[in-house]
């Protein structure tokens, strides 16, 4: 267990590699109750959010979701968010745990001028469990009344899981298909245990999926029957890194705009209403980003980490690693890094005084749609 944004969180249950592999090959179960949930309700809710964020929440149909960002006046990212439209006059904003207080304060301040909009912190009243992986839909379908086959990506609906009233959304942070289950805190254990039982392998309950990894042999393969493994923060980080998904404080932050992260698509300059940061973001869209986010594959076994310098062939520092790890899926070391827009390849990564060669690659490193 480890402290994370004021929460005591599981870093790993037993083996982060086995947990990571389970999500890629079968399914993983995550406790994400540390995430912030903020409700924006009332007839003015859509207009208030349109002004508050760079996306266009009022254009969402009920039951749909969008990834967006809360930006400062200068375009810097205060947090990246997922906004669900749960009804005509109800939106749920999901914020990173470390930024929940900032997002809540900003939404309240920015909605003050819009009549008919109320902002309420529902974090303490909301538990969040995620099931991710190719077998996620099959496992969850046995304990829910929702028709998951008809649920689109970035959509959600009210229903029941293990007899508990929930909001189920088909989103995720791992690069795999999966679902988030928002529930009452007192229902978390019941839902967790129901999913665990539904996902038990035919080989038996408990550590059946984990045992091969603990023995130092081959990790679980996609050919194995339905299995579900609890997964912690370490596996979640390597999964999202392989999927090329940004992490606030690494790829996103107050000193950069969405354009630097290659996420200019979330900035809706075409929406008719004004929003905080519009002028600065429009200018950055015109002039282009000051640095670019790239993917790097290390050519040695040494692992690049956050903060390591990226070097040019002439030995000049041209960037910095934002996230890096040994990829359990690709079996090589990978990293995301910001580099100067005019920097030219080849690049090296300064790993504790030794410059290790690295090859630029397109993000994401892993794309499930391209897997055989």
Position 87 in a domain: yes
Give the residue-averaged pLDDT of 189-216: 61
Determine the pLDDT at residue 204.
42
Give the residue-averaged pLDDT of 202-214: 37
What is the domain extent for residue 54? 36-125
Position 221 in a domain: yes
Task: List all residues 6 or more positions away from 24 whose beta carbon is below 8 Å from its beta carbon.
Answer: 133, 134, 176, 239, 328, 329
Q: What are phi and psi of 308, to 5 degrees?
A: -70, 140
The C-alpha angle with vertex 237 and arms to 11 and 179, in degrees rounded to 5, equals 95
Instruction: Round the average pLDDT of the chain to a whole number and report it.
Output: 92
Do 221 and 156 share a structural domain? yes
Give the residue-averaged pLDDT of 312-332: 96
Give the pair of three-digit tokens for residue 243.
């999927």
**What domain count does the chain have?**
3
Determine the pLDDT at residue 216.
33
Bridge partners of residue 49, in order along the sequence: none
> Is 60 exceeded by the pLDDT of residue 71?
yes
Task: List all residues 6 or more positions away from 257 whose beta carbon is below 8 Å from its beta carbon.
Answer: 71, 75, 76, 77, 280, 281, 284, 289
Task: List all residues 6 or more positions away from 177 whose beta carbon is below 8 Å from its beta carbon.
Answer: 132, 133, 134, 136, 137, 170, 368
pLDDT band with cut points at 50, 70 and 90 for residue 372: low
| Portion of the chain with pLDDT greater than 90, in percent | 90
Domain with residue 353: its CATH number is: 2.40.30.110
Do 131 and 15 share a structural domain? yes
Do 220 and 132 share a structural domain? yes
Do 69 and 27 share a structural domain? no
Do 234 and 142 share a structural domain? yes
Determine the pLDDT at residue 200.
85
6 by DSSP, 3-state: which? coil
Determine the pLDDT at residue 100.
98
pLDDT digits (tens, 9 = 90+) for 293-317: 999 999 999 999 999 999 999 999 9
pLDDT digits (tens, 9 = 90+) for 85-128: 999 999 999 999 999 999 999 999 999 999 999 999 999 999 99
Position 355 in a domain: yes
pLDDT band with cut points at 50, 70 and 90 for residue 226: low
Do 20 and 42 share a structural domain? no
Do 188 and 76 share a structural domain? no
Do 316 and 182 share a structural domain? no
pLDDT band with cut points at 50, 70 and 90 for residue 290: confident
Domain with residue 149: its CATH number is: 3.30.1360.120
The β-bridge relationship of strands 164-169 and 156-161 is antiparallel
Cβ-based burial of 369 (10 A; exposed 0-12, middle 13-18, buried ≥19): exposed
Measured distance CA(80)–CA(254) in Å, rounded: 11
Among 103, 125, 147, which residue terminates a domain? Answer: 125
> Is 90 exceeded by the pLDDT of residue 227?
no
| Portion of the chain with pLDDT greater than 70, in percent | 93
Bridge partners of residue 84, in order along the sequence: 65, 92
The answer to whether residues 97 and 185 touch, using CB atoms and an 8 Å cutoff, is no
Do 144 and 21 share a structural domain? yes
Domain with residue 119: its CATH number is: 3.30.70.1400
> Is 70 exceeded by the pLDDT of residue 262?
yes
Measured distance CA(296)–CA(303) in Å, rounded: 11
C-beta neighbour count of 1 within 10 angstroms: 11
C-beta neighbour count of 93 within 10 angstroms: 26
Determine the pLDDT at residue 35.
98
Position 68 in a domain: yes
Do 28 and 79 share a structural domain? no
> Is 60 exceeded by the pLDDT of residue 155?
yes
Position 259 in a domain: no
pLDDT digits (tens, 9 = 90+) for 166-179: 999 999 999 999 99
Q: What are phi and psi of 279, to 5 degrees?
A: -60, -45
Do 130 and 12 share a structural domain? yes
Give the residue-averaged pLDDT of 158-185: 98
Position 18 in a domain: yes
- Of 151-165, 195-209, 351-365, minimum mean pLDDT range: 195-209
C-beta neighbour count of 132 within 10 angstroms: 27
Give the residue-averaged pLDDT of 34-42: 98
Position 337 in a domain: yes
> Is 60 exceeded by the pLDDT of residue 135?
yes
> Is 70 exceeded by the pLDDT of residue 84?
yes
C-beta neighbour count of 14 within 10 angstroms: 14
The HSE-up count of residue 298 (CA atoms within 13 Å, CB side) is 27
Do 151 and 102 share a structural domain? no
Determine the pLDDT at residue 370.
85
Measured distance CA(56)–CA(144) in Å, rounded: 31
Position 283 in a domain: no
Determine the pLDDT at residue 225.
41
Terminal-residue alpha carbon distance, the chain? 36
- Of 143-157, 214-228, 317-331, 355-369, minimum mean pLDDT range: 214-228
Give the residue-averaged pLDDT of 43-71: 98
């Amino acid at each position: 267990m480890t402290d994370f944004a004021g929460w005591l969180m599981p870093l790993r249950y037993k083996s982060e590699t086995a947990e990571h592999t389970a999500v890629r090959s079968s399914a993983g179960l995550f406790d994400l109750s540390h995430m912030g949930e903020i409700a924006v309700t009332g007839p003015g809710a859509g207009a208030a959010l349109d002004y508050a964020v760079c996306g266009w929440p009022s254009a969402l149909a009920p039951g749909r979701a969008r990834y967006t960002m809360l930006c400062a006046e200068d375009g810097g990212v205060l947090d990246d968010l997922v906004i669900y439209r749960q009804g005509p006059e109800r939106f749920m904003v999901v914020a990173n745990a470390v930024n929940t207080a900032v997002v809540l304060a900003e939404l309240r301040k920015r909605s003050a001028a819009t009549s008919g909009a109320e902002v309420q912190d529902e974090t303490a009243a909301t538990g969040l469990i995620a099931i991710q992986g190719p077998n996620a839909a099959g496992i969850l379908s046995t304990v829910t009344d929702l028709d998951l086959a008809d649920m689109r990506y970035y959509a959600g609906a009210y229903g029941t899981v293990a007899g508990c009233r929930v909001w189920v959304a088909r989103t995720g942070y791992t690069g795999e298909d999966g679902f988030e289950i928002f529930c009452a805190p007192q229902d978390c254990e019941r839902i967790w245990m129901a999913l665990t039982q539904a996902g038990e392998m035919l080989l038996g309950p408990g550590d059946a999926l984990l045992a091969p990894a603990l023995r130092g042999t081959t990790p679980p393969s996609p050919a194995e029957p339905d299995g579900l493994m609890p997964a912690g923060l370490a596996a979640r980080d390597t999964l999202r890194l392989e999927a090329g998904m940004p992490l606030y404080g690494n790829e996103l932050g107050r000193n950069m705009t969405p354009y630097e992260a290659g996420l200019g698509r979330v900035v809706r300059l075409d929406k008719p209403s004004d929003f905080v940061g519009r002028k600065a973001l429009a200018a950055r869209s015109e002039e282009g980003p000051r640095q670019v986010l790239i993917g790097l594959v290390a050519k040695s076994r040494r692992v690049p980490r956050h903060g390591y310098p990226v070097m040019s062939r002439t030995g000049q520092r041209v960037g910095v690693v934002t996230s890096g790890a040994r990829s359990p899926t690709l079996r090589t070391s990978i990293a995301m890094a910001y580099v100067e827009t005019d920097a030219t390849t080849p690049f090296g990564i300064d790993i504790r005084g030794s410059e290790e060669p690295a090859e630029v690659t397109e993000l994401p490193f892993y794309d499930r749609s391209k897997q055989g």
